[in-house]
Amino acid sequence: KRQDQYSIGDKVEINGVEGTVEQISMRTTTVRSMSGELYFIPNGEIRIIRNFARGVFSPASIHLRVKSSQLHQAMAVLNRLIADYGQFDHLVDVPRIVSEDGVIGSDVELTLLAKAEYGFGVEARHQLIEYIDAHLTQSDIEINA
């Protein structure tokens, strides 16, 4: 039984098929893929459902690698961004800075964990990248690949 896990119009992935739900009947769910194919999925075969339309936020995180010798200055730039995160459209929470691997060598990899309103992750990430790039460049901090 489906138990209201998706509705007509939701963007979903069902059993590996990604698309928009067009029809739901007692026996089948019809999904239209992004390239136009129409899939008829027997409801009794549905095991895994990923519903893109039911999210509460979209990720807008940024990963960057800076020289260890410039870590203090880079953290200052990121902390200024965090202090005034309200200037960014669509962010729903205060971003956090983490070092995912916890390794300090010649470079340090940092992640700015950011959450945007659902469906606006790309736009929020773009604003964050522009801010970080401009302010790191202004402070003569190199971003390494």
pLDDT at 31: 96
Query: Measured between alpha carbons, how far is 21 from 73 in angstroms, rounded to an integer?
Result: 49
Q: How many other CB atoms sit within 10 Å of the CB of residue 94?
A: 12
- Residue 10, SS3? coil
More confident position, 1 or 115 = 115
Strand partners, 38: 32
Given this model, what pLDDT does residue 42 score? 95
Expressed in angstroms, the distance from the first to the final Cα of the chain is: 48
- pLDDT (tens digit per residue) in 1-16: 456 788 888 889 999 9
* 129 band by pLDDT with thresholds 50, 70 and 90: very high
For range 116-126, the mean pLDDT: 88
Residues linked to residue 20 through DSSP beta bridges, in sequence order: 11, 32
- Cβ atoms within 10 Å of 65's Cβ, excluding its own: 13
Closest CA to 98 of 106, 90, 108: 108
Phi, psi of 82 (to 5 degrees): -65, -40
Amino acid 1: pLDDT: 42
- Dihedral (Cα; 99, 101, 104, 106), 10-degree rounding: -100
What is the Cα–Cα distance from 14 to 106, expressed in whole angstroms? 44
pLDDT in the model for residue 3? 66
